[in-house]
Amino acid sequence: MPTWMKPGVWGLVIGSILTMIVGFQWGGWTTSGTATRIAREQADSAVTAALVPVCVALSKADQAAPKKLAELRGMSSSYDQQEFVVKAGWANVPGAAEPSREVADGCAAALLKTAAK
């Protein structure tokens, strides 16, 4: 290799590395794995947000809803509230094999919010 090419090759290598560092850190570049993970999280969040009204509607259709809502309001732990909604059957989404914990958590929050009004 001629001696005049050596600085050019090193400049190309260092420039490529710096471009990748800047691109991934501040340029908004992502790997396909990161993009897939972010897309999955956003999809799960959107599905949960869409199913919370179904849970609230199931709670309103329950005959013992006033008593259960009073019991739910008395709970201070979000875990206990989530478990209560699951056990009440309100988080049983039609077509799902088991209740969704995320839907139960969002439903408990929505029920407490509407009960406070």
pTM here is 0.70
The pLDDT value given to residue 116 = 67
Per-10-residue mean pLDDT, the chain, length 117 = 87 96 92 95 94 90 88 89 91 83 92 78
CB distance 101 to 86 below 8 Å: yes
pLDDT at residue 23 in the model? 93
User: CA separation (Å) from 39 to 13, 43, 73, 81, 88?
Assistant: 33, 6, 34, 29, 31
What is residue 30's three-state secondary structure?
coil
